[in-house]
Amino acid sequence: FDLRQLTLITVLKEIIEELRHHQAENGVSEKLQALVGWVVNRLDR
């Protein structure tokens, strides 16, 4: 991993946690969560 990838992964994981935390109140779409999750999975490889 280079530092940029690692930083991006960290930021995306923070975003996912925020989305999960606020999902009930803000109605965050499952498609958005799935998309962000897919990006993280791709970067984690």
Q: Is 43 exposed, middle or buried (0-12, 13-18, 19+ CB in 10 A)?
A: middle
**Tell me, what's the pLDDT at 24?**
57
> How many separate domains does the chain show?
1
State residue 28's pLDDT score: 61
- Average pLDDT, 10 consecutive residues per value, the chain (45 residues): 84 82 64 79 76
For residue 3, the model assigns a pLDDT of: 87
**DSSP assignment, residue 1?**
-
- The span from the CA of 23 to the CA of 3, in Å, is 30
- Supply the pTM of this predicted model: 0.45
Domain that holds residue 20: 3-44
